[in-house]
C-alpha cells in the first residue's frame, strides 16, 4: 500500500523501554505538541497499551531511540498504515531522520505538512516444520538463518519459487529487504541497495566451498530455506531473540503486503550522502558496549 501524507493531529510517541532518557524526552515532545494544538501521548513501544493506543486513532508515530526502536515501530505501524518519524537517541541511528538536538526545529515543519513519505518494502517470514506453520513474523531489515552456539557451519538449502537455488555450507544465510542491505548484509559483503527498491536480497555468512555471491530477486519471489544439521540452528528476525530450528525445518520468506512509511524532511538524494558519512565516520567505532 502506498504511503498517504497528511498533516498529523494525533501523534503517538514511542520510547525504548530501557532508555530512561527517552521518557523524559517524550514528555518534552508531547508538551511541545500540546502547546501547538496537537493531541499527543507517549508510551513504551513494547507495552500492549501503546499498541492499543496506536490502533484507536493515530495519524503518526514518533519513535524515540536507535535503529532497534525504529524496527519495532515499523512492525507496529506498517499494518496500521501509520507513518513513522524517527528521532535518534542511540549511537548509530541510520534509520532515524532527526537528531535529538533537532526536533524543536523539525516538528513545526511536520505540522505544516512540509515533509515527504518514503515507503519501504517489508517481508513476511514463516517458520515451517513438516509443512505446518509454527509462527509468522513481519520483517523490515532481514531474516537470518544460522548456526547456534556451536561454532560449526550448517547446511542450508535455498529454493526460489519451488526451484533449487543453491546449497550453502555456511555460518548462516541472510534474506534481506533493501532497507536491510545496509545492516548485517552489508557487514558480510552484500551490495548496498537504494531503500525505495522492492527486491529480495540473499547473501551467505562465511560460506565454505559454497556460493559466495549475493543474489537479488524480484519482489514476487518466494524463498524457502531448509536447515540440515546435527547441532543447533536458529533464525532471527530483525535482531529479535532467536528461534530454535530442528533438522529439516524451513523458513519461507516472501514480500509482505504492508509497507513501512517514514517521514523525511530532506531531498530525495539523502540516502547515498548519509551512507557515505556513516562509512567515513562510523559512530560505533571504538565503542565497547
Contact by Cβ (8 Å): 121, 219:
yes
**End-to-end Cα distance, the chain:** 38
Cell matching residue 136: 509468522
Domain borders along the chain are: 10-115+265-280, 122-257
Query: Angle 3-125-19 (CA atoms, 0-180°, nearest 5)?
Result: 70
Find the helix packing angle between 20-35 and 103-111, rounded to 10°.
40
The residue written with cell numbers 514518533 in the block is 62
Is 67 catalytic? The answer is yes
pLDDT at 280: 64
The pLDDT profile of the chain, 289 residues, written as one tens digit per residue, is 578 888 999 999 999 888 888 889 999 999 999 999 999 999 999 899 999 989 988 999 999 998 899 999 999 999 999 999 999 987 767 889 999 999 999 999 999 999 999 999 999 999 999 999 999 999 999 999 999 999 999 999 999 999 999 999 999 999 999 999 999 999 999 999 999 999 999 999 999 988 899 999 999 999 999 999 999 999 999 999 999 999 999 999 999 999 999 999 988 878 877 777 766 666 555 543 3
pLDDT at 288: 39
Fold match between domain 10-115+265-280 and domain 122-257: no
| Chain centroid to CA 105 | 26
pLDDT at 289: 37
Cell matching residue 133: 506453520
pLDDT at 283: 54
Contact by Cβ (8 Å): 159, 202:
no
- Per residue, the 3-state secondary structure of 223-257, as one string, reads EEEEEECCCCEEEEECCCCCEEECCCCEEEEEEEE
Q: Which CATH architecture group holds 10-115+265-280? A: 3-Layer(aba) Sandwich (3.40)
CATH for 122-257 is 2.60.200.30
**Distance, CA of 61 to CA of 40 (rounded, Å):** 10
Q: What is the chain's mean pLDDT, rounded?
A: 92
Q: What are phi and psi of 18, to 5 degrees?
A: -110, 20
Of the residues 2, 47, 67, 161, which is catalytic? 67
Amino acid at each position: 500500500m502506498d504511503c498517504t501524507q497528511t498533516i498529523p493531529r494525533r501523534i503517538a510517541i514511542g520510547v525504548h523501554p530501557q532508555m530512561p532518557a527517552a521518557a523524559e524526552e517524550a514528555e518534552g515532545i508531547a508538551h511541545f505538541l500540546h502547546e501547538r494544538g496537537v493531541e499527543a501521548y507517549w508510551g513504551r513501544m513494547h507495552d500492549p497499551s501503546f499498541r492499543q493506543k496506536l490502533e484507536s486513532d493515530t495519524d503518526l508515530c514518533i519513535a524515540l531511540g536507535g535503529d532497534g526502536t525504529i524496527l519495532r515501530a515499523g512492525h507496529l505501524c506498517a499494518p496500521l498504515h501509520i507513518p513513522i518519524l524517527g528521532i535518534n537517541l542511540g549511537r548509530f541511528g541510520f534509520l532515524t531522520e532527526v537528531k535529538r538536538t533537532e526536533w524543536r526545529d523539525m516538528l513545526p515543519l511536520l505540522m505544516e505538512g512540509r515533509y515527504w513519505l518514503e515507503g519501504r518494502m517489508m517481508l513476511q517470514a514463516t517458520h515451517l516444520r513438516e509443512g505446518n506453520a509454527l509462527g509468522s513474523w513481519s520483517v523490515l531489515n532481514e531474516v537470518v538463518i544460522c548456526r547456534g552456539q556451536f561454532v560449526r557451519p550448517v547446511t542450508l538449502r535455498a529454493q526460489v519459487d519451488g526451484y533449487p537455488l543453491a546449497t550453502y555450507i555456511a555460518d548462516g544465510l541472510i534474506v534481506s529487504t533493501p532497507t536491510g542491505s545496509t545492516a548485517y548484509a552489508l557487514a558480510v559483503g552484500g551490495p548496498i541497495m537504494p531503500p525505495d527498491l522492492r527486491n529480495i536480497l540473499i547473501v551467505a555468512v562465511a560460506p565454505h566451498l559454497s556460493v559466495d555471491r549475493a543474489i537479488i530477486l524480484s519482489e514476487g519471489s518466494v524463498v524457502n530455506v531448509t536447515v540440515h544439521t546435527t547441532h543447533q540452528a536458529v533464525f532471527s528476525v530483525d535482531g529479535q531473540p532467536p528461534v530454535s530450528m530442528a533438522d529439516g525445518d524451513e523458513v519461507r520468506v516472501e514480500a509482505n503486503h504492508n509497507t513501512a512509511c517514514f517521514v523525511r524532511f530532506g531531498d530525495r538524494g539523502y540516502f547515498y550522502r548519509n551512507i557515505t558519512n556513516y562509512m567515513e565516520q562510523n559512530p560505533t567505532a571504538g565503542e565497547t558496549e
